[in-house]
Structure 1
């Protein structure tokens, strides 16, 4: 079939019909036709030629042209699509490198194979355009709730018709043992939209915490208006959930607003989530206070927060332990997800035993090192002394408040403590030198002999070795492996060295070695202070 013998307007009509059916731009279909015709022409004239086709958007006439580019003599590779400046002078007045010479060529007859190939190109281009349109439409709907209709179920995954495309609700994103039949209406959260080779993939979820937050936003006007904010959500899908809310209007109770008149608002969410029980908790910036609320209905006697370890220790009455933990650990698990902290729950009896054990360990320490009897050692522990350094270097007046301790006794205690510490330091230094520690590390300010010994035992024997350390290697830290937080012990952690102190020590060593310019260090610190100040000002402005 010759392109010239066909009804030229038929091309435009076909393009418009396809575009209308697939809801894409007609020009994309015409571009696909142009590419398919150009490919067919290349098979006729030669694949090395640069053949281009242009379809007139008004008349439908297709024009075939051959394009040749002017290149430098030594870069000429393709004689069919390129020519030198000298060759170009036959066709052009003043040719320059980069110019193109375009000449029209006769239209080609589309044989059966060429026509089939052209059809495949058009279909491929149309599919790509359709996929792009779907992706552009749904990528902005990520993070929202979408209504759809169940089309079919494949291996437990539900395929949902969402209008101009299909989405997938994986079986692990369904609540409990939900089952759907074709034609059922379904409401889901758009969790992710990805552009993949087989087309845009829209992933839905009914178990995501954000799904519950969006449902509350639909049911509670105050959340939609920003008067109430959902700060945290934790779910055990289909069973129980906890949600932390805060009100920015003192006259509105956030919990009451979310519950609604006679529980109408929260009940609407519960019904959508297959009867999932929801605890609505007032948010508090003070994490221990918020955790006490999150563990309700259990009563909490005491809370101890370790911010560095991101752990919180909770003490509850003996009879409240099972209530605080919940069925299969559900209550404490949800409270942990809500606060982002690892929670250790113990009874008052267990905490009492632990404190008693610590008391005995400290008592024995003072008995062995200060050569005092058990009663006197217990007095020191009861007054809050936990190590020898505190006894050795505390103000004398703080020892005099202990019953039965006069000035002479206090001075003797401090003398014994200092002598013991000095002896320990001497032994540590001897051990470190036996291990081959250099003077540069021994004399480095900020490191005690015991610290130097600990470093030497790990192979750090010079200031250069020390300067290559990372702060977490010295101070320790936490890493998450397979969703579980694991403790990384630091070389100097047992000496009370934290991350900031470790970082300062390492940077000081690098400055001394000339690895870091102190002026650049001061400038970067000043920049950081300015950024912190700007952040503070912006926070105040927002408030």
Structure 2
């Protein structure tokens, strides 16, 4: 059977569109079938069920009208009587669909225009789906493209099989691009949106630098050297922590390369960004000392519960440790995940003397002893009355100048003072209207109840509907400045995890969740932590 020219032309158009848009030929033919169906409905009636089929080998178009089998038809354009249907198909039953061939359709100008719009929309949707499928699994990769245009500081990049955008705040400061420039960037997000897949690139993302090192340093690509963390101030300075899984390979030297060739290749791509390569250490104190390079650190004091570390440096090293506008310490904090407080040796000595004086005064007044006894307790490392009240009696009696009777008397006075404070706080709690049930929540003390009452948390339900931020506070960064907001339990030395556990216990006690739900949530947290 000879195939007419217009039929061949139809198939040629489908092949050309499929090649140009890089989509499946079957999708284009299906779009054409939908377009023909729409045009046929405009002729035979919008409520008529039309089916169009295009033979993928010959290009022949077959039109059929589908009629529903009913006992008594009301609309002859969509329904057919059971008796008439059985003349065509003896096994027809009520509810079946019977197909009826239609003559070839002669497209008018309006119908042809409508069909063209349907085809274009279907092809556009297929192209968007293909782009999304191509790039959704490429998040975290570096891609190369060509600058297509620049709109309001945002750079639109042609990736060959799709378009991507680098927002103005994702570009390295002071770098400019124009039409036709080659550009390399990091894919950090791909979203399926109404207007099509949106591919977002970045040149300021910390992982952009990590991926550049992976491309330049074979040992990182092979997994011999591991990048543990990255901190960047785009276009200015960066720090990267590396660890070697082979003791014979120096991770810093491998990343620097012969005469600095490897690190200079990355620096060149990042518009001259200074990069400090830091050896990663399991020990937090050693790692933080390394991260503060080139400053020399005299002493470090870790507070693991609060996630903070105090770093003591010599006077001439203070400006170097802090860096210009706090850059060095800020990057070191981002790299290590610790809040870092930097002070000079004189400031640290002054602070310790102040703490010693405050503790001496506390013990002197609370225990009704002379200053020398207060100084002895402070110098032995006692910081709170609770420590004196509940420490082992032998430890207290072993202090030079104390005997067992003295130690016992000090503990008695400490416990009596704490009991007095407890009673005063309990009275204050009642005045504030804090309910007794709130004290039964694990981890809640009488002093906390007073703080809760001052922050309008007066029942178990009030605590249950709190967030951890409401208790321990939070920080917000705006206009380049970090602002600290205090929580209800500010100053109680309570960690975020402890606050969350307290809130969960309140939710169980209030009946908002069950104990089983809490157990499941804890197991999920453990699994997520293990996965990380």
> What TM-score, normalized to structure 1?
0.84
Aligned to 2:423: 426
Instruction: Give me the CA root mean square deviation.
Output: 3.7
For residue 301 of structure 1, give the secondary structure of its aligned residue in structure 2. Answer: strand
User: What is the distance in 2 between the residues matched to 1:394 and 1:258?
Assistant: 52
* Residue range with higher mean Cα deviation, 432-441 or 414-423: 432-441
**Structure 2 gap ranges (5+):** none
**1:140 is aligned to 2:163:** no
Supply the distance in 1 between the matched residues of 2:452 and 2:76 (Cα, whole angstroms): 71
User: Deviation per CA, 1:457-513, whole angstroms, max 9, x where unpaired?
Assistant: 666667x5588466848963646666958455345x766666676677777788888
Aligned residues of 1:474 and 1:497 also touching (Cα < 8 A): no
**1:151 match: secondary structure:** strand
1:28 pairs with 2:24: no
Residue 414 (str. 1) matches residue 407 (str. 2): no
Q: Is the 8 A contact 2:472 2:499 kept in 1?
A: no
Deviation per CA, 1:2-32: give whole Å up to 9, x if none.
xx99732221122122223333222222111
Aligned ranges for residues 296-335 of structure 1 at < 5 Å? Answer: 296-335=293-332
Matching of residues 1-400 of structure 1 within 5 Å: 7-70=6-69, 80-81=77-78, 92-96=89-93, 98-400=95-397
SS, match of residue 168 in structure 1: strand
Relative to structure 1, the CA distance from residue 209 to residue 427 in structure 2 (aligned partners, 3 Å threshold; closer, same or farther) is closer
Distance 1:181 1:460 in 2: 58
Pair 426,234 (structure 1): closer, same or farther in 2 beyond 3 Å: closer
- The equivalent of 1:489 in structure 2 is 487
Whole-angstrom CA distance in 2 between matches of 1:8 and 1:469: 69
Distance 2:102 2:278 in 1: 77
Please give the alpha-carbon distance, in whole angstroms, between the structure 1 residues aligned to 2:160 and 2:210: 24
In 2: Cα distance, 1:184 partner to 1:144 partner? 20
CA deviations 1:163-193 (Å, max 9, x no partner) are 2333333332222322234333322223333
2: CA distance, partners of 1:182 / 1:446:
62
Judged with a 3 Å threshold, the aligned counterparts in structure 2 of structure 1 residues 219 and 475 are, in CA distance, closer, same or farther, namely same
Q: Once the 2 structures are TM-superposed, how far is the Cα of residue 390 of structure 1 from its aligned partner?
A: 1.9
* Larger deviation, residues 139-148 vs 51-60: 139-148
After superposition, what is the alpha-carbon deviation per residue over 1:46-93, rounded to whole angstroms, capped at 9, x for unaligned? Answer: 0001111101112211111111345799xx997743568688567543
Deviation at 1:253, TM superposition (A): 0.8
SS at the partner of 2:215?
A: helix
CA contact (8 A) 1:169 1:203 kept: yes
Conserved? CA contact 2:242–2:280, under 8 Å: yes
Question: Distance in 1 between the 2:345 and 2:399 partners?
Answer: 29
Contact 1:474 1:502 in 2 (8 A): no
CA deviation after TM superposition for structure 1 residue 442, in Å: 6.8
Q: CA offset at residue 438 of structure 1?
A: 6.4
Tell me by how many angstroms 1:109 deviates: 1.6
> Which range moved further: 98-107 or 508-517?
508-517
Cα deviations by residue, 1:115-169 (Å, 9 ceiling, x for unpaired): 1111222222222223333333333333222222333333333333322333333
* CA distance, structure 2, for counterparts of residue 282 and residue 12 of structure 1: 62
* TM-score, normalising length: structure 2: 0.86
Flag the 1:97–1:216 CA change in 2: closer, same or farther, 3 A: farther
| Secondary structure of residue in 2 paired with 1:187 | strand
Q: Distance in 2 between matches of 1:256 and 1:90?
A: 87
- Relative to 1, partners in 2 of residues 1:510 and 1:257: Cα closer, same or farther, differing over 3 Å? closer
